Chain A
Amino acid sequence: MRGGDRSRVLALHLAVIGLLAGLQLVLPPFHHGMLARIMVLAAYAVGYNVLLGYTGLMSLGHAMLFAAGMYGTGLTIRHLGFGVAAGLLSGALAGLAAAGLVGVMTRRTTGPAFLIVTMMLAQAFYLATLYWNDITGGDQGFILTGLHIEVAGLRLPLADPAVKYNVALVVFAACLLVSLWITRSPLGRVLVAVRENEERTRLLGYDTSRYRLLAVLVSGLLAGVAGSAYTLLFSYVGSTFAGILYSIYPLLWTLLGGAGTVLGPLVGTLVMTYVVDITSGFTTAYLLVVGAVLVGMILWAPAGIVGGIRARWAAWLP
């Protein structure tokens, strides 16, 4: 990559974060709240993209990692009296630990087997949250109250819209920059090589299964942080988020935005969350749109939105 491109890329991503920061001043309350939610979910999709977009591994069990973050935070706050910071840390670690399990179990799998093992592990996890519902609250879940952070001696409740928005922004920006940093580092290059041709990469002397494990761990860490942030900001933990739909959402968001592009997950999450929100306003069968978008995209726009832009106008986009 040439020097000019490097600074242009960094400037673009900082500008996107700046734009999100600025939007809170002009957005009406409803869209303000929507965007806070979208940013947290987009952080989850960014984590998914590290695996699908840059390493070429398609998971159908990411909800387990997201929900591990949720339960890691929610349960420790509820039962052990953790604060927000400790809760966030334990959520992130839970995501990492769940990813470690996925990584070890999928070490020998390739192609569809990877997808199915992740799906099975996530399903077992989902059923476990239902089975031990005296601890997890099962389907009903549980809510957390009175969460707040302290900044410079000020007590800021997380339920306050402005606080919520800015915490979501910080979480998203951190995940986006981690993802950008990875794609531009030597590690990212190796991951792309694994995606393009694992056999050849191994022949070049790289221990590809270690790189795959690393990608799963990074992805799980980001998913865990996103899940944890979701719990903290929206004060709720429930097994819905461990269900298969929340494994399919990040796949949809990432593909729609453009797998293997840094900004794709944000664009995909933004578009799809609004589409689902608008359709669910007038039909209970709003998931029909999810299905139609998946099929339509595969037929007519396999590169996704940002992928299409990159192919046509801006080859320098990471």
Chain B
Amino acid sequence: MSLGPHLFLALLEGTVGALVLALTALGLSLVFGVMRIVNVAHGEFFMLGAVVTWYVSATTGSFLLALLAAPAVVGAVAVLADRLVLGRIGYEPESTIVATIGLLYILQELVLTVYGPYARPVPAPVYFRVAFPWFGYSGYKLVVAAVAAALLAATWIALSRTRLGLYMRATQQDREIAQAFAVPVNRVYTLAFGVGAGLAAVAGALIVPVQQAHYLMGLDALLLSFVVVILGGLGSLRGTLVAAFLVGVSDGVISVFFSPTLAKIVATLLVALVLAVRGRGLFGEAAA
């Protein structure tokens, strides 16, 4: 293959990766924006989504059912964690970080105990190849990209057009004023945490037929989401989307031409550099 088609493949892989990454990172960004907390367990919600998808599609044979079950189950786990732990410590930033690190290990090790140390594939629900002049490409990956894009748009509309979205934005802007205007802030927090986890779970579910479900898959998802959310600016959803494309596509290109490890080194160093020069990221609001 010559350079042109090679680059096209890299961009294609990058775009598919970017859309899934955007979905995961959007969950993290939403949680940070609304609740002002850093959720270190976010990657585990992604992993849990993938594992639940494997269970449901292995027992019922329906991938569609699994795709619906994953965010529901993971969202419920997140809501439970919010009520039992985060709510009780009052979302104090440092305590929340420590608690979510704890949650990370609890979820990861419970999955290791119940599901085991295996990497298990799920057959893709649709199978067709798209024949480009130079190579064939998995049709399922294009479906993943389309579903992820649709979900991103749906989340965007929900945030900008519905009452719940209004509540979330109000809480993000000023928690106390929102409460004074009868926004049920505590319930908004719990819901934001659940929805954020659900978005990660859907991303995990979509990726299983391509990547296999494994109990350690959460860490990479977490780190890449951090990269994206920070590059885009903590709390800025628009920034998150732009950064997901930047990171996803450059990750795809560097992975295809050099090595995936090098791609991750570049991405993490880039973030450290951006934060060092511009503390609030590319699109972030000034520090409160």
Contacts and interface: CB of A to CB of B under 8 A. Distances in A.
A120 B226 contact: yes
B1 interface: no
Interface string A90-111: 0000000000000011111111
Contacts of A297: 98
A121 B105 CA distance: 22
Select the residue from A60, A130, A299 with max chain B CB neighbours within 10 A.
Answer: A299
A229 interface: no
Contact of A287 (B105, B219, B261): B105
25 contacts: A105-B275, A107-B276, A108-B275, A110-B279, A115-B38, A116-B230, A119-B223, A120-B271, A120-B272, A120-B275, A121-B269, A124-B265, A131-B259, A131-B261, A248-B101, A285-B110, A286-B109, A287-B105, A288-B105, A288-B113, A294-B101, A295-B103, A298-B89, A298-B98, A299-B89
Contacts of A123: 223, 264, 268
B62 to A, nearest CB: 30
Interface string B226-256: 1100100010000000000000000000000
B125 interface: no
Nearest to B220: A123
B98 A255 contact: yes
Contact of B102 (A112, A244, A298): A298
B81 to A, nearest CB: 9
Contacts of B184: none
A124 B262 contact: no
A127 B261 contact: yes
A58 interface: yes
Interface string A276-290: 000000011111101
Contact of B98 (A283, A284, A285, A294): A294
Contacts of A124: 265, 268-269, 272
Given A105-B272, A108-B277, A109-B276, 10 more contacts: A58-B94, A108-B275, A109-B275, A113-B230, A113-B275, A120-B226, A120-B269, A124-B265, A285-B113, A299-B99
B20 to A, nearest CB: 20
B85 interface: yes
A131 B101 contact: no
A128 B265 contact: yes
Nearest to A243: B219
Main secondary structure of the interface of A (DSSP, over half): helix
Interface of A: 58, 60, 104-113, 115-117, 119-121, 123-124, 127-128, 130-131, 244, 248, 251, 255, 283-288, 290-299, 302
Interface string B106-117: 111110110001
Interface in B177-230: 219, 223, 226-227, 230
A303 B261 CA distance: 39
Interface residues of B, number: 45
Contacts of A255: 98
Contacts of A128: 265
A117 B276 contact: yes
A128 B259 CA distance: 12
Contacts of A283: 113
A120 B227 contact: yes
B85 A295 contact: yes
Select the residue from A108, A116, A248, A302 with max chain B CB neighbours within 10 A.
Answer: A116
A113 B109 CA distance: 28
Nearest to B270: A120
Nearest to B85: A295
Contacts of B264: 123, 127
A250 B51 CA distance: 30
Given A295-B102, A299-B89, A104 B95 contact: no
A112 B89 contact: no
A146 B20 CA distance: 51
B136 interface: no
A107 B287 CA distance: 15
B161 interface: no
A251 B95 CA distance: 12
Contact of A116 (B38, B99, B102, B109): B38
B88 interface: yes
Contacts of A127: 261, 264-265, 268
